[in-house]
C-alpha cells in the first residue's frame, strides 16, 4: 500500500535548489494531518552534500542515485531513474517544484507510472475519505488564471503527483538534531540519454533576483504610459529593488515573463512591495498577498489594490516618481 510524502530534491552543480526547502515545508504541513514519513529523492553526480542539506531540513528518509556524469537537461534518462525509484519507495504523494526541470522530468514520470500529474499548484490541503484514508486537495489557477480549481487524484491511482509553484510556501528552517536515513539505490543505473549538452550559458534575466529580493517594485497598466516605465526603472535602481509586473507589462514586453507576479506568474514574499498603476485584480494580488509591507500608488481612489495594501496613495505615478527622483 502506498504511504509517505516524497519530495523531489532538485539540484544544480552539487547544491540543493532553494525551492526544495519550500516543498519540505509543504510536506511537513501534510504530515501534521497524515502522520506519514517524509522522504526525498536525489539524482545527481554528487549526492553527499545534497543529502546533508536535506538532512538538516528534517526529512525522515533520503533515497539517492549517483550518476556517472552530470545529468543536467537529460530529462529523458533521469525520468527513467526517478520512475524506478518511486516504484520501489511507493509513496502516496510526490511533491515536485513547478520549475522547467520539475515539469519536464515528472510529466514523463507520470506517464511511466500511469498516475498523471497536477501542474502548478498554489495550495495543498489534506482531505479525509469516509474510510478514514487521506488524499491531497491540489488547488491551482485554471482557465487562463480566471478561476481556482481543486484537483483530486482518482482513488486507486498512486502516487498523487503534483508540481508546486515556487514561492507559495516559505522555506523550511534547519531542524536541530535531524537524522535522516540515507539509502543509495546502487542497482539503479541511468540509461544513456538522447540529449547532449554542448554549452551552458547564464540566463539573461534571473528569476531568483525577484524571488529572493527584499524590496520589489511592481508596475501595472499605468506603467505602460509614455515615460513611466523608465521612471520606474530609475526608482527601483535608487531604492535597490527588483522589478516585477502584471500581465499587461509582460504582454507589452516591458518585462520578461519570469518577472510576472500573480496566479500565472510568480508568488513572492518580499519585505516591502511598492506598486505603481496596478489595478489590484485577484489574478495579480494572489501572487503577493504575503508581503510584509505593501504600498500602492494609483490614480483611482476606488481601485481594488487599496483593499490589499497597507498604505495607499491616490496620485499619478509620474508625479510621485519624478518628485522622488528629483530629491
Per-residue pLDDT of 253-263, as tens digits, reads 999 888 999 87
The answer to whether the beta carbons of residues 162 and 124 sit under 8 Å apart is: yes
Q: What is the CATH number of the domain that holds 245?
A: 3.40.50.1220
Query: Same structural domain for residues 315 and 257?
Result: yes
* pTM reported for the whole predicted model: 0.78
Q: What is the CATH number of the domain that holds 42?
A: 3.40.50.620
Query: Same structural domain for residues 319 and 224?
Result: yes
Distance of CA 213 to the CA centre of its chain: 15
The answer to whether the beta carbons of residues 8 and 95 sit under 8 Å apart is: yes
Query: Same structural domain for residues 13 and 144?
Result: yes
The answer to whether the beta carbons of residues 224 and 254 sit under 8 Å apart is: yes
269-320 pLDDT tens trace: 889 999 999 998 877 887 887 788 999 999 999 999 999 899 999 999 999 9
Largest CA distance in the chain: 67
The answer to whether the beta carbons of residues 226 and 236 sit under 8 Å apart is: no
Q: Is the previous residue joined to 72 through a cis bond, with omega within 30 degrees of 0?
A: no
Query: Same structural domain for residues 258 and 174?
Result: no
Query: Same structural domain for residues 178 and 230?
Result: no
Of 149, 184, 219, the residue that ends a domain is 184
What is the chain's Cα-based Rg?
A: 22
Report the candidate in 276, 321, 282 with the shortest Cα–Cα distance to residue 294. 276
Torsion of CA 199, 81, 170, 38, to 10 degrees: -160
107-142 pLDDT tens trace: 999 999 999 899 989 899 999 998 889 999 999 877
Q: Is residue 200 part of a domain?
A: no
Q: Which domain holds residue 280?
A: 208-326
Query: Same structural domain for residues 321 and 179?
Result: no
CA distance linking residue 276 with residue 298, whole number of Å: 6
Query: Same structural domain for residues 315 and 283?
Result: yes
- The number of distinct structural domains making up the chain is 2
Q: Is residue 198 part of a domain?
A: no
CA distance linking residue 236 with residue 138, whole number of Å: 36
The cell numbers describing 24, all together, are 519540505
Q: Is residue 193 part of a domain?
A: no
Q: Is residue 314 part of a domain?
A: yes
Amino acid at each position: 500500500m502506498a504511504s509517505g510524502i516524497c519530495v523531489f530534491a532538485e539540484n544544480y552543480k552539487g547544491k540543493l535548489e532553494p525551492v526544495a526547502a519550500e516543498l519540505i515545508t509543504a510536506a511537513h504541513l501534510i504530515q501534521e494531518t497524515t502522520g506519514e514519513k517524509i522522504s526525498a529523492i536525489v539524482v545527481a553526480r554528487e549526492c553527499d552534500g545534497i543529502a546533508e542539506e536535506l538532512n538538516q531540513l528534517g526529512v525522515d528518509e533520503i533515497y539517492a542515485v549517483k550518476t556517472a556524469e552530470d545529468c543536467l537537461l537529460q530529462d529523458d534518462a533521469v525520468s527513467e531513474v526517478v520512475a524506478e525509484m518511486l516504484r520501489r519507495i511507493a509513496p502516496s504523494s510526490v511533491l515536485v517544484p513547478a520549475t522547467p526541470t520539475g515539469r519536464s522530468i515528472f510529466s514523463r514520470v507520470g506517464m511511466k507510472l500511469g498516475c498523471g500529474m497536477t501542474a502548478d499548484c498554489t495550495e495543498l490541503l489534506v482531505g479525509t475519505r469516509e474510510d478514514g484514508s487521506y488524499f491531497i486537495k491540489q488547488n491551482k489557477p485554471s482557465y487562463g488564471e480566471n478561476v481556482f480549481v481543486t484537483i483530486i487524484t482518482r482513488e486507486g491511482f498512486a502516487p498523487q503527483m503534483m508540481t508546486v509553484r515556487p514561492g507559495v510556501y516559505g522555506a523550511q528552517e534547519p531542524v536541530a538534531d535531524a537524522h535522516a536515513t540515507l539509502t543509495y539505490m546502487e542497482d539503479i543505473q541511468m540509461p544513456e540519454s538522447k540529449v547532449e549538452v554542448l554549452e551552458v550559458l547564464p540566463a539573461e534575466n534571473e528569476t531568483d533576483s525577484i524571488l529572493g529580493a527584499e524590496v520589489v517594485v511592481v508596475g501595472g497598466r499605468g506603467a505602460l504610459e509614455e515615460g513611466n516605465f523608465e521612471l520606474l526603472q530609475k526608482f527601483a535602481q535608487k531604492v535597490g529593488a527588483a522589478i516585477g509586473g502584471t500581465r499587461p507589462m509582460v504582454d507589452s514586453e516591458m518585462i520578461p515573463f519570469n518577472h510576472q507576479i500573480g496566479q500565472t506568474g510568480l508568488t513572492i514574499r518580499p519585505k516591502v512591495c511598492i506598486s505603481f498603476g496596478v489595478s489590484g485584480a485577484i489574478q495579480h494580488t494572489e501572487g503577493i498577498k504575503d508581503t510584509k509591507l505593501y504600498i500602492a500608488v494609483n490614480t483611482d481612489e476606488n481601485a481594488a489594490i487599496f483593499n490589499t495594501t497597507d498604505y495607499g496613495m491616490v496620485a499619478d505615478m509620474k508625479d510621485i516618481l519624478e518628485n522622488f527622483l528629483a530629491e
